[in-house]
């Protein structure tokens, strides 16, 4: 009888986590409907629901399907991808300060994307208006972003193997790597033509304004399998949280799990950066908020961070594009305003937070 | 014979040997205590047996088959390991921590049976009232019980424990070792790396004495003699018997620092 009680208590605890997952989904759907309806043209939620069925006034359907929905879906995917990259990096490096942005992976990816345009010529300048470069080769840009993201990831991983590498050391190294690539990007801009410069500058602060259906397709193909991989391996990441030795004794291939995890989280970050530029702090903040509410069990932490992260970035983007309308703020600015204070809080609180 | 180790050699990449030609065998239902001074290779030996470190030379047979021939998952079902210190990144509840021991059996969702086993262990270890607490809020003794519980949840044939009692008060020491003794009496085996010679004498059936990475002596409790301890630890001791329990009382280092 008493054993049943212990099990019941645990199942009650688990059902709270499931409830949080459901609430996050509902929150995401509400954000989605509101976000599609808010903007410079007045559209009601009613119109939005109609437009899903391709009904209603033609111009509204056009705006909803061609402008609003790609942007909203991109925000969802970017938020999801950055959050799972953050969860994975925090677990793999056993470091509460880990995320693509704080470890310099995002900056490296942005440098890779910019160098693809300026050095490898991935953008064409034969555009109709003289002030923009058509980025006609998203694959080359993404691959270059991924390559440089891997370079910084390799740096972080080899540093993390050092015996005296504390979480703080790693983040300091990440800041150094980030600065290095930011400097690289700035120097690239000296060699860029004015037109290229305009294209390149966009990678320095994240903006979801360039979302198209093609970008969305590429992101789905890359990010959804990565999400499934992490959810599928959540027991391995749980084991990793208990330390390498314990994880090994539980049958986890620690080196493989760590390598694959870093590789995939860097890929997720690189793809998002190559389409939207650096959106800082999402990968750091979201896992912490979710962990505070439902605890550290990766089986729930990973999917909940994905959903909550999607809603978080979508809400941020909606605020960013309406707060000082008609000016549209890049969402990266807003997430940095939200994320930087939390980052400082974590640094000050340090280990006692855990 | 549950475990048969022959001529084991290990060194951390390129450095000098930590273990040299170590041979040990262990029968079912026995507790083996590995004793020896700091740096004698106790922890390394346990990690080699637990497949956490891969020895450069020698063989380890578990249940009559070479450890190499098992899948990771199978080893995790046969050997439970409790490390000396566990450096956690993020908090985890007592229940979740012990449930982790079921990982070698779980594909994704823990079954009724997994939950039942975990709840049984929690009850057996007397952790009911704290089953939903975070483990970093617990005392050292409670936490050690949780880690032993996780290893028990693996339902292993062989338990490896690295200094299971080093940070515990006297009562918790006895409690943890009693739990291990009780499990071993149900037909599994255990190997302890242990500093406390009196606890080793009190709870183990077999003793291996390591000195500088080699087996200095091994056998029953009679291995613990004044001469052996003097030679391995460099300490002069008295061994007394009280109601059939042997007790080691240290006197002084043989050629160590003396303060007059």
Q: What residue ranges do the domains of chain A occupy? A: 77-353
Give which of A235, A236, A245 to mutate to test B binding, by max B Cβ within 10 Å.
Answer: A245
Instruction: Give the model's confidence band at A192: pLDDT under 50 very low, under 70 low, under 90 confident, else very high.
Output: confident
Contact with chain B for residue A213, Cβ under 8 A? no
Q: Is the pLDDT of residue A244 over 80?
A: yes
Cα gap B160→B151, rounded to integer Å: 9
Q: Are A268 and A145 in contact (CB under 8 A)?
A: no
∠ CA B215-B218-B224, rounded to 5° = 110
* Top-confidence residue, A353 or A318: A318
Q: Are the Cβ atoms of A297 and B92 closer than 8 angstroms?
A: yes
Q: Is the pLDDT of residue A161 over 50?
A: yes
Identify the bridge partners of residue B57 per DSSP, sorted by sequence position: B9
SS3 B66: strand
Q: Is the dihedral of CA A86, A87, A88, A93 positive or negative?
A: positive
Instruction: Give the model's confidence band at A126: pLDDT under 50 very low, under 70 low, under 90 confident, else very high.
Output: very low
Residues for chain A: how many in total? 354
- Domains located in chain B, CATH noted: 3-92+151-224 (3.40.50.300), 232-260 (no CATH)
Contact with chain A for residue B80, Cβ under 8 A? yes
Fold held by A77-353: ABC transporter involved in vitamin B12 uptake, BtuC (1.10.3470)
Instruction: Give the model's confidence band at A229: pLDDT under 50 very low, under 70 low, under 90 confident, else very high.
Output: very high
CB-based burial label for A89 (10 Å; 0-12, 13-18, 19+) = buried
Cα gap A50→A61, rounded to integer Å: 8
Q: Are A209 and A203 in contact (CB under 8 A)?
A: no
Instruction: Give the model's confidence band at A322: pLDDT under 50 very low, under 70 low, under 90 confident, else very high.
Output: confident
Q: Which of A21-35, A117-131, A316-330, B195-209 has the lowest mean pLDDT?
A: A117-131
Work out the average pLDDT over B173-181: 93
Nearest CA-CA distance, residue B135 and chain A, Å: 11
Work out the average pLDDT over A10-28: 95
∠ CA B119-A288-A101, rounded to 5° = 135
| pLDDT, position B13 | 80
Instruction: Give the model's confidence band at A350: pLDDT under 50 very low, under 70 low, under 90 confident, else very high.
Output: low
* Model confidence pLDDT, tens digit, residues B112-147: 999 999 999 999 999 999 999 998 888 888 999 999
Q: Are the Cβ atoms of B89 and A90 closer than 8 angstroms?
A: yes
Contact with chain B for residue A232, Cβ under 8 A? yes
Q: Are the Cβ atoms of A249 and B104 closer than 8 angstroms?
A: no
Nearest CA-CA distance, residue A8 and chain B, Å: 10
Cα gap A224→A230, rounded to integer Å: 10
Q: Is the pLDDT of residue A17 over 50?
A: yes
Nearest CA-CA distance, residue B206 and chain A, Å: 24
Classify B29 in phi/psi space as left (phi over 0), alpha (psi -120 to 50) or beta.
left
* A246 vs B contacts (CB less than 8 Å): 81, 83, 86, 150
| pLDDT, position A328 | 82
* Top-confidence residue, A106 or A354: A106
Q: Is the dihedral of CA A179, A181, A182, A183 positive or negative?
A: positive
Contact with chain B for residue A7, Cβ under 8 A? yes
SS3 B22: strand
Q: Is the dihedral of CA A38, A44, A49, A51 positive or negative?
A: negative
SS3 A34: helix
Instruction: Give the model's confidence band at A231: pLDDT under 50 very low, under 70 low, under 90 confident, else very high.
Output: very high
Nearest chain B residue to A288, by CA = B90
Q: Are the Cβ atoms of B132 and A291 closer than 8 angstroms?
A: no
Nearest chain A residue to B92, by CA = A296
Q: Which long-range contacts (CB under 8 A, 24 or more apart) does B59-65 make?
A: B59/B4, B59/B5, B59/B6, B59/B7, B59/B8, B60/B3, B60/B4, B60/B5, B60/B8, B61/B1, B61/B3, B61/B4, B61/B5, B61/B6, B62/B2, B62/B3, B62/B157, B62/B158, B63/B2, B63/B157, B64/B1, B64/B4
Q: Are B220 and B32 in contact (CB under 8 A)?
A: no
Contact with chain A for residue B154, Cβ under 8 A? yes
Instruction: Give the model's confidence band at B178: pLDDT under 50 very low, under 70 low, under 90 confident, else very high.
Output: very high
Instruction: Give the model's confidence band at A354: pLDDT under 50 very low, under 70 low, under 90 confident, else very high.
Output: very low
Q: Are the Cβ atoms of A10 and B81 closer than 8 angstroms?
A: no
| pLDDT, position A187 | 87
DSSP codes joined into one string, A193-209? -HHHHHHHHGGGS---T
Q: Is the dihedral of CA B58, B61, B66, B71 positive or negative?
A: negative
Instruction: Give the model's confidence band at A173: pLDDT under 50 very low, under 70 low, under 90 confident, else very high.
Output: confident
Q: For chain B, what percent of residues have pLDDT higher than 90? A: 76
CB hemisphere CA count around A176 (13 angstroms):
9
| pLDDT, position B86 | 77
CB-nearest to B115 from A10, A90, A238 is A10
Nearest residue to B152 via CA among B96, B92, B77 = B77
Portion 54-73 of B in contact with A at CB < 8 A: 71-73
ipTM topping 0.95: no
Q: Are the Cβ atoms of A7 and B104 closer than 8 angstroms?
A: no
Q: For chain A, what percent of residues have pLDDT higher than 90? A: 42
* A2 vs B contacts (CB less than 8 Å): 123, 128
Contact with chain B for residue A41, Cβ under 8 A? no
| pLDDT, position A76 | 95
Instruction: Give the model's confidence band at A295: pLDDT under 50 very low, under 70 low, under 90 confident, else very high.
Output: confident
Q: Is the pLDDT of residue A128 over 70?
A: no
Mean pLDDT of chain B: 91
Work out the average pLDDT over A87-109: 90
* B120 vs A contacts (CB less than 8 Å): 3
Q: Is the pLDDT of residue A164 over 70?
A: no
Nearest CA-CA distance, residue A245 and chain B, Å: 6
* Model confidence pLDDT, tens digit, residues B49-88: 999 999 999 999 999 899 999 999 999 999 999 998 877 7
Q: Is the pLDDT of residue A12 over 90?
A: yes
Q: Which distant-in-sequence residues (6+ apart) come within 8 Å of A2 by Cβ?
A: B123, B128
Q: Is the pLDDT of residue A21 over 90?
A: yes
Portion 278-307 of A in contact with B at CB < 8 A: 291, 295-297
Q: Are B236 and B191 in contact (CB under 8 A)?
A: no
Beta-strand pair B158-162/B57-62: unpaired
Nearest chain B residue to A255, by CA = B52
Cβ neighbours of B223 (radius 10 Å): 17
């Amino acid at each position: 009888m008493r054993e049943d009680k212990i099990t019941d208590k645990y199942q009650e605890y688990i059902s709270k986590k499931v409830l949080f997952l459901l609430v996050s989904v509902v929150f995401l759907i509400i954000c989605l409907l509101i976000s599609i309806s808010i903007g410079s043209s007045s559209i009601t939620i009613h119109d939005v629901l109609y437009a899903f069925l391709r009904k209603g006034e033609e111009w509204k359907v056009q705006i909803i399907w061609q402008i609003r929905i790609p942007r909203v879906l991109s925000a969802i995917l970017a938020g999801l991808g950055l959050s799972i990259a953050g969860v994975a990096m925090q677990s793999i490096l056993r470091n509460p300060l880990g995320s693509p942005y704080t470890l310099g992976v995002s900056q490296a990816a942005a440098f890779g994307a910019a160098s693809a345009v300026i050095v490898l010529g991935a953008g064409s300048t034969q555009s109709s208006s003289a002030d923009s470069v058509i980025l006609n080769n998203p694959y080359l840009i993404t691959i270059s972003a991924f390559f440089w993201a891997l370079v910084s990831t390799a740096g972080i991983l080899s540093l993390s193997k050092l015996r005296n590498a504390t979480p703080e050391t790693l983040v300091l190294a990440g800041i150094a790597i980030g600065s290095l690539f930011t400097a690289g990007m700035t120097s690239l801009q000296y060699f860029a033509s004015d037109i290229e410069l305009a294209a390149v500058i966009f990678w320095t602060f994240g903006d979801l304004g360039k979302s198209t259906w093609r970008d969305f397709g590429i992101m789905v193909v890359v990010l959804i399998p990565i999400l499934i991989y992490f959810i599928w391996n959540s027991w391995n990441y749980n084991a990793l949280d208990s330390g390498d030795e314990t994880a090994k004794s539980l049958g986890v291939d620690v080196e493989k799990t760590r390598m694959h995890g870093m590789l995939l989280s860097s890929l997720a970050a690189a793809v998002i950066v190559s389409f939207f530029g650096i959106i800082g702090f999402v990968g750091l903040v979201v896992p912490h908020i979710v962990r505070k509410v439902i605890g550290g069990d990766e089986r729930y932490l990973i999917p909940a961070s994905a959903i909550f992260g999607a809603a978080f970035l979508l809400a941020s983007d909606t605020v960013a594009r309406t707060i000082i309308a008609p000016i549209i703020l890049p969402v990266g600015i807003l997430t940095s305003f939200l994320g930087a204070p939390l980052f400082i809080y974590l640094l000050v609180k340090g280990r006692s937070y855990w | 014979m549950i475990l048969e180790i022959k001529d084991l050699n290990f060194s951390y990449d390129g450095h000098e040997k930590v273990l040299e030609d170590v041979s040990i065998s262990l029968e079912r239902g026995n507790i083996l205590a590995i004793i020896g001074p700091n740096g004698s290779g106790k922890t390394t030996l346990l990690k080699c047996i637990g497949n956490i470190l891969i020895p450069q030379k020698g063989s380890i047979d578990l249940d009559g088959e070479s450890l190499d021939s098992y899948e990771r998952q199978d080893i995790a079902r046969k050997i439970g390991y409790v490390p000396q210190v566990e450096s956690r990144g993020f908090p985890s509840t007592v229940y979740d921590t012990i449930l982790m021991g079921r990982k070698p059996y779980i594909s994704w969702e823990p079954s009724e049976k997994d939950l039942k086993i975990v709840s049984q262990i929690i009850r057996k270890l007397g952790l009911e009232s704290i089953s939903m607490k975070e483990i970093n809020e617990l005392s050292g003794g409670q936490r050690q019980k949780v880690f032993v519980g996780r290893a028990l949840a693996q339902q292993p044939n062989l338990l490896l424990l690295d200094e299971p009692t080093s940070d515990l008060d006297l009562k918790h020491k006895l409690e943890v070792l009693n739990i291990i003794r009780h499990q071993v009496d149900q037909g599994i085996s255990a190997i302890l790396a242990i500093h406390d010679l009196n606890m080793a004498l009190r709870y183990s059936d077999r003793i291996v004495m390591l000195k500088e990475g080699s087996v200095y002596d091994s056998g029953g409790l009679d291995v613990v003699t004044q001469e052996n301890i003097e030679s391995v630890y460099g300490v002069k001791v008295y061994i007394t018997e009280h109601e059939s329990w042997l007790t080691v009382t240290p006197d002084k280092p043989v050629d160590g620092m003396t303060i007059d």
